[in-house]
Amino acid sequence: MPARKYSRREFAHAAAIPALAGIATQVGAPRTQAAAEGGDPDRKDLRQRQLFLDDTWIEESYRLERVWESAEIFPEPVLRPETAWEGRQVVMFGSVFRLGGEWRMYYTTYNPPELPQFCLATSTNGIRWERPKLGLFSFNGAEDNNLLFDPALNIRHDGPTVCYDPQDTRSPFKLMYYASGNGRPRGEYIALSRDGIVWQHHPTPVLTTTGDRTNLFPSRDHTGKFLAILRHRDMMKVHRARTVWRSESEDFIRWTEPRPILRPDLLDEPNTELYGMSAFRYSDLYLGMLEKWYGVPDRFEIQLAWSHNGVDWLRPAKRSAFLGPAFPWNRAWNTCANTAPILVGNQLWFYFGGRSSAHGREHPQSYGAIGLATITIDRFAAMQADFQDGLLITKPMTWPGGDLALNSTYTRYPQGHPAGGGGDVGVEVRDAGNLPLEDWSGAQRAGFNVFSPARNKPDLLPVRWPGGRSLKELAGKRIRLAVFLRDARLYAFRAQL
């Protein structure tokens, strides 16, 4: 497909759209401070999707296990290296946004000893991408390219990532990257932009104690701060491995000294390093796409991490790849965009970079492309029952009103047909002391043998009790939920007002 020539007016119009049409706004609704303080159920906003990543909501469980799901990788890359400046590798040390009807991908090239290039691709559907002819900088004597940094400056940068901040109408696009060269001291640099195309670079580093591999948080956090997830230059001395650190800023200029938030532990293999992590808001918590590097065999995969407050991070006890080697082009190295997944129908779309060779290995030359992975909304972890009845009893909650809505399947096989199971899901209501409420339990409990959410929309489906009754009748009451499962999976619940 020939590259489209974009006018500066078109880019300015796209940048003026006030909010992203992605997961950050459709799932990560505005939250209160109390809703994000931690895993305390009484601080949780039940209007938000409540996941079962940990035991925040679980008082008791019987004949259930927590299982973790993986994203499904689209078999072909959505962006391959094709131009002279892209060489043989394009990598997802970058960002993907949907701004109104336009999708934007900020990505990087990596072909040492050549300097990396920072580039832009655009799309109307997230699958077919094109390279706009920006005409900003010259490459080999021609300006007919999609470069966002000036190659003539001879600056080596690593991992430029973008934050979209609509609160700042003058500079809604914000950039952070690790850089050195051309007389510059090593460190984290920032840049600001009105349209996300022309950048005004801060002349000096805002942090000088970091290392490479920077992931700027894609939006402000629940307190209104900017966050960066990065490395410390002394991490190898402190932890003897690559580890994940955190810095924050009120104004995007002054950043706190990085502090560690994740390091390998005794549930990791001894040759494991945590190479980096992208993170984003999801409902009333934070999810992280953690880059786990195995030394032997030499490969990278993405594992899940989460936090209730953005500071204290948790990982599964059973650690498997959320996104890992699947095809020759991503068999060795996988890294996710710093941005939140984009919601399309009931699917979350994750953009990631895949490479055929891992860290420091070229056999004979590494190939890098950018791919797409998807998962049904909320389906990171499930409470699963086998062929015998299982039971989950929640901790007490004050029901805010509205319907009880579930994300569940009546099959324990996530790869099976969505409507092909024969399991059973039932819900009854108990009081705060765990005594069943007569009109809501036993023979009057609700059945829920439906597949949710529907294919073309992310809404969870409401639970109905006999006679068409809804949990909205118990608004303001202190209750527990008892969920009965057989040959089924439960992923999330919420109060749907």
Residues recorded for the chain? 497
319 and 214 in a common domain:
yes
80 and 58 in a common domain:
no
Residue after which a domain boundary falls, among 313, 347, 376: 376
Q: What is the pLDDT of residue 2?
A: 45
Beta-sheet pairing, 397-398 with 184-193 = unpaired
Is 22 domain-assigned? no
Q: What is the pLDDT of residue 154?
A: 86
Percent of the chain with pLDDT over 70: 92
**pLDDT at residue 477 is higher than 90:** yes
Close Cβ partners of 142 (under 8 Å, ≥ 6 residues apart) = none
323 and 302 in a common domain:
yes
pLDDT tens-digit map of 111-153: 988 999 999 999 999 999 999 999 999 999 899 999 999 988 8
Give the other-Cβ count within 10 Å of 92's Cβ. Answer: 28
Give the other-Cβ count within 10 Å of 208's Cβ. Answer: 11
**pLDDT at residue 448 is higher than 80:** yes
193 and 101 in a common domain:
yes
Place of tokens 């008892």: 482
221 and 253 in a common domain:
yes
Is 8 domain-assigned? no
pLDDT tens-digit map of 206-236: 999 999 999 999 999 999 999 999 999 999 9
pLDDT tens-digit map of 270-284: 999 999 999 999 999
Q: What is the pLDDT of residue 31?
A: 36
| Least confident among 26-40, 180-194, 370-384, 448-462 | 26-40
203 preceded by cis ω (within 30°)?
Answer: no
Is 4 domain-assigned? no
Residue 391, domain extent: 34-62+386-496
**pLDDT at residue 34 is higher than 80:** no
Domain of residue 287, CATH code: 2.115.10.20
CA distance 177 to 190: 6
Is 355 domain-assigned? yes
160 and 295 in a common domain:
yes
202 and 123 in a common domain:
yes
**pLDDT at residue 450 is higher than 90:** no
Is 428 domain-assigned? yes
Is 2 domain-assigned? no
Q: Give the model's confidence band at 19: pLDDT under 50 very low, under 70 low, under 90 confident, else very high.
A: very low
261 and 162 in a common domain:
yes
Which whole number is the average pLDDT over 196-204? 95
**pLDDT at residue 177 is higher than 70:** yes
Q: What is the pLDDT of residue 168?
A: 95
Close Cβ partners of 7 (under 8 Å, ≥ 6 residues apart) = none
117 and 38 in a common domain:
no
371 and 401 in a common domain:
no
**pLDDT at residue 449 is higher than 80:** no
Is 101 domain-assigned? yes
411 and 367 in a common domain:
no
* Structural domains counted in the chain: 2
280 and 194 in a common domain:
yes
Which whole number is the average pLDDT over 239-263? 96
